[in-house]
Amino acid sequence: MFTGIVEEMGAVMSLEKTLAGTRMTLLASLVMSDLKIGDSVSVSGVCLTAISKGENNFTVEVSPETLSVTTLGHLTAGAPVNLERAMKLNERIGGHLVAGHVDGVGRVRSRHQEGNAIFFTIEAPPEVLRYCVVKGSITVDGISLTINDVTAHGFSGAIIPHTAKVTTLGLKQVNDVVNLESDLIGKYVERLLQERSQLPKTTPIIDKDYLQKRGLI
């Protein structure tokens, strides 16, 4: 489990592609301090396992399935990535509960500056949007982001200068793709309600209009 608070930006040192998948070596510093072989690391929102380590780098293996359903398949040597070690239960959770299991790939549709904040509009697939609510949380490339607005095709959010500086989101431009993970608690709530036949099998998008019509806001 992770929190969506990125510890540092690393970089892809090398990629070794085979029919069985891809072996990726990542340059890092902060996360290396207590990293052990077998530990989980969130790499731009994808939970991967360290299979070897050096003084300033570690290696992970990425399956063909993961490459096909995330943005990791687009990475090349030198590309920056967001890194976060698994959370400790005795520490504060600065973001929200993140599993590192990507639900879909989104695309940046707009980016603009307002004051010291950068606002993004991100197009997202229905399987992600169904769990998006205004003021709720979503993980974008491993970053815990608060949702400002939800539409039929996407959502918007903003980042402060610190986040722009220390994560890859500050580098993202219009049409760039990002990994998206929906709020974990929302998915469990939906599943439990479905088991009790309190929700239809196809759940509508829970946006601002949905909540207003039912008198919830």
φ, ψ for residue 12 (rounded to 5)? -75, 120
Helix-, strand-, coil-residue percentages of the chain, each rounded to 5: 20, 40, 40
pLDDT in tens, 110-151: 999 999 999 999 999 999 999 999 999 999 999 999 999 999
Q: Which contiguous run of DSSP H or E holds residue 126?
A: helix 126-129
Asked if domains 8-85 and 104-195 share a fold, the reply is yes
β-strand 8-18 against 21-27: which pairing, if any? antiparallel
The overall pTM is greater than 0.75 = yes
- DSSP letter for 31, please: G
Please give the mean pLDDT across all residues of the chain.
92
Predicted local confidence at residue 170, as pLDDT = 96
Predicted local confidence at residue 17, as pLDDT = 86
pLDDT in tens, 151-180: 999 999 999 999 999 999 999 999 999 999
Q: What is the mean pLDDT of residues 188-196?
A: 80
- DSSP letter for 1, please: -
* Contact between residue 96 and residue 137 where contact means Cβ atoms under 8 Å apart: yes
Predicted local confidence at residue 189, as pLDDT = 84
pLDDT in tens, 47-106: 999 999 999 999 999 999 999 999 999 999 999 999 999 998 888 889 999 999 999 999
* CATH annotation of 104-195: 2.40.30.20
Q: How confident is the model at residue 195 (pLDDT cuts 50, 70, 90)?
A: confident
- Domain ranges in the chain? 8-85, 104-195
Q: How confident is the model at residue 187 (pLDDT cuts 50, 70, 90)?
A: confident
Dihedral of CA 8/9/10/16: which sign? positive
For residues 15 and 155, what is the distance between their CA atoms, to the nearest angstrom? 33
**8-85 carries CATH number 2.40.30.20:** yes
* Contact between residue 211 and residue 217 where contact means Cβ atoms under 8 Å apart: yes
